[in-house]
Structure 1
Amino acid sequence: MDSKFSGLPDLRTIQPGRLIKYRISDDGFAAELLLPGLTYTDFDQKIGGKIGLWNFAKILESVRALCLRNFIGPMLFSRESTIFLATHSFEVTQQYHSNFSYEKSFGMDMPMRFSFYISDVGRTSFTSAIEWRDYVTERLLVKLVSKSVHVSRKTRKPIPIPEWVSKGIEDHLKLVANPKKLQKSDPLVIPTTAFKYKVKTLQSDCDSNFHINQATYLRWCSDAWSAAALAGNLKNYNKHIERYCIKTMDTHYIGEALANDIAVVNVWEDDLDSRKLICAIQVNAKVIFTMRIDFHDIPPIAVSPHLVSKL
């Protein structure tokens, strides 16, 4: 999407006085965003000072929300309708893992650059992409492709996207190189040997749609995988799972969990490759969320012994 912003001033020089800087393409289907830097609470010392997975997800959620609410989003958010997330597909580079730690990336003088663009529009859903790049080298750090569904607030069921919302989308999509198509996941059969981890959902876990926020599901999966690893239930992992360097994550939001539900987080290893892990979350015995995760083949992040002895 750089072609839509080529020849424009450096993003850091625009909108003087603003900590968060952004610009939107003329057609409204792409944006650039600059966040000022990471805060102390984004980092987690028990996983070696890396960005915690929940914080990682919230950073990307904030980028997506800021961009959506400034162009296509306002056309889909109303008293009658809203947007539900259906699928996330994350690609995380080794460069990301080497770039971001408390020692290297803390502070407002370490800006984060993102590009956002719509990559497909269907009858009731649309797909968007976020590319997180190193501000100096412009090397890709993370790519997130998301599918969102336009739903009725009353029925919480999909409803059509107005045709005028996507007017001009055809010309925009010609600039999108090889857009990733996100498909529904095949039904998962939870093995009897899966490690089970129960959580009670809290009001603080919910978002503005009054159901469990997408980042919360990732936190639950992380907690369950870490508990399984520390209990000796995983062949290739015996430490907090976020000490290993994530390569890909594919998540599917199949149903809803609400405050005060009891969720059962089932985790296990892929039958074909035990380095890949699977999570399925159930509420009232119904699967509402699934996640598959793969890791780079590099050593886990070290942790200083004085910070945490067991992990």
Structure 2
Amino acid sequence: MKYDIDADGVSHYILGELSYNDFDKSRRIGMWQLAKLIQGARHQRFRSVTMNLKGLGITSFVRSQFLQIYPAFYTSKLTQNRALDITSRLSHLGRTSCCLDTDMYDLSTKTLLASGSVQDVFVSRQTRRPFPVASIAWQQTKVITPRDQRPISGPDFPARPTGTLCFTQTRTVMSSDTDANDHLNEAMFIRFCFDCASSAALDGHLPSFRKDVIYADAKTVWFLYIREARVGEELTLYCWEDRNLSRTLWVEMCQESQVIGQCQIQFYEDGLTRSTSEPDGGLTLAKL
């Protein structure tokens, strides 16, 4: 791994090769693993800032995350010996939050594979309430404002349907699912949602997905992190297919009666490459 930041404020997190564990049974990088790769670039970018904030009694939590996956992510047939360049830039710095935008490129071809935006919220370690960002922690940081608004506004999350239209699954948070704060890691949130969606499809609850959704080509993933989840807590996940937006799934995660996370997953109309994706029926593209 190599890391560098240029004069324009864009950092480059270069992975010389991928790990066998980066790939799932479809022989592709899963969405939760993509989130982990981006997380690695984010942690590298914020290392010095995190140390400054820690000394001031401040910590940060991910509030929301958006992933945009491009066709090349599926058609370029990534393998273990392919190098990646994950660039990142601070796109928003508010009073108690910031946004980091990332782009993932195939290093050899410079092809854009995926993009993302993560919103972090800063809180007091003592009160767990939002805390104004100390300027000293950001004195060496340059903000690159994008054309569209940050944080990215998520979709209006619909009411959960009743009856057989909604698939339900329970899952217990394990120690290996948590981060250094002993909370369910944000990438594991996404993994839980995709696991639930896969089970829903295989159980016949998703009309447009007759097989495991791991073989479908995800186009966008949006996640809102509402509350923390800790080791040993039992979570209930609900998954359903949107009746109006084509190839769009919703997943809601609850701990007892409290909603702790909400996710929208949109898929491309059909498998972009038959060599890695199983046929799954095609519908019109959905839009956020």
- Report the TM-score, using the length of structure 1 for normalisation: 0.81
Query: Corresponding residue for 2:36?
Result: 58
How many residues are matched?
273
Q: What are the Cα deviations for residues 1-54 of structure 1, in whole angstroms up to 9, with x where unaligned?
A: xxxxxxxxxxxxxxxxxxx11112458x43112111111121223x2x112333
Q: Secondary structure at the match of 2:115?
A: strand
Partner of 1:42: 22
Do 1:89 and 1:144's aligned partners in 2 also have CA atoms closer than 8 Å? yes
Secondary structure of the structure 2 residue equivalent to 1:44:
coil
Secondary structure of the equivalent of 2:13? Answer: strand
**SS of equivalent to 1:217:** helix
Contact between 1:112 and 1:133, CA under 8 Å: does it hold in 2?
A: yes
Mapped pair 1:209 → 2:181: yes
Counterpart CA distance in 2 for 1:267 and 1:198 is 12
Structure 2: how far apart are the matches of 1:285 and 1:300?
39
Normalising by structure 2, report the TM-score.
Answer: 0.87
Alpha-carbon distance change, 218 to 36 in structure 1, aligned in 2, over 3 angstroms: same
Larger radius of gyration: 1
Deviations 1:92-140 (A, max 9, x none): 0000111244xxx113xx2111111100000100011111112123221
Residues 77 and 151 of structure 1, relative CA distance in 2, 3 Å threshold: same
2:46 corresponds in structure 1 to 68
Deviation of 1:168 after TM superposition, in Å, equals 7.5
How far residue 294 of structure 1 moved from its aligned partner, in angstroms, is: 0.6
Which residue of structure 2 lines up, in the alignment, with residue 189 of structure 1? 159
Output the CA distance in 2 between the equivalents of 1:205 and 1:53. 16
Alpha-carbon distance in 2 for matches of 1:155, 1:185: 30
Q: Which residue of 1 aligns with 2:2?
A: 21
Q: Per the alignment, in what secondary structure is the counterpart of residue 90 of structure 2?
A: strand
Question: 1:243 touches 1:300 (CA, 8 Å); kept in 2?
Answer: no
Conserved 8 A contact 1:234-1:269: yes
CA deviation map 1:234-275 (0-9, x unaligned): 111011111101111110001111111110011111232141
Specify the SS of the correspondent of 1:207.
Answer: coil
Give the equivalent residue in structure 2 for 1:132: 104
SS of alignment partner, residue 194 of structure 2: helix
Q: How far off its partner does 1:167 sit?
A: 4.4
Note closer, same or farther for the CA distance 1:67–1:218 as it changes in structure 2 (3 Å cut). Answer: same
Structure-2 separation of matches of 1:197 and 1:302? 30
User: 1:164 deviation in Å?
Assistant: 3.5
CA contact (8 A) 2:183 2:229 kept: yes
- Is the partner of 2:205 in helix, strand or coil? coil
Assess if the C-alpha contact under 8 Å between 1:53 and 1:242 holds in 2: no
Letter in structure 2 aligned against 1:24: I
Map of 1:5 onto structure 2: none
1:145–1:180 Cα contact (<8 Å) kept: no
Task: Using the TM superposition, give the Cα deviation of residue 301 of structure 1 relative to its aligned residue in structure 2, in angstroms.
Answer: 6.3
Are 1:156 and 2:135 matched, yes or no?
A: no
CA separation of 1:226 and 1:50: change in aligned 2, threshold 3 A:
same
1:92 matched residue in structure 2: 69
Match of 1:15 in 2: none
* Runs of at least 5 residues in structure 1 that lack an aligned partner in the other structure: 1-19, 305-311
8 Å CA contact 1:77, 1:83 repeated in 2:
no
C-alpha contact 2:75 2:273 (8 A) present in aligned 1 = no
RMSD (CA atoms): 2.2
CA contact (8 A) 2:14 2:84 kept: yes
Counterpart residue identity of residue 227, structure 1 = S
Cα distance in structure 1, aligned partners of 2:155 and 2:29? 28
**CA contact under 8 A between 1:121 and 1:166: conserved in structure 2?**
no
Which of residues 86, 92, 107 is equivalent to 1:114? 86
In 2 relative to 1, CA 164–220 (structure 1 residues): closer, same or farther, beyond 3 Å?
A: same
Partners of 1:99 and 1:184 in 2: CA distance: 29
Contact 1:119 1:179 in 2 (8 A): no
Kept after mapping to 2: 8 A contact 1:125/1:150: yes
User: 1:264 — aligned with what?
Assistant: 236
Aligned residue identity for 1:35: L
Identity, in percent, stands at 27
Tell me if the contact between 1:235 and 1:274 (Cα under 8 Å) persists in the aligned partners. Answer: no
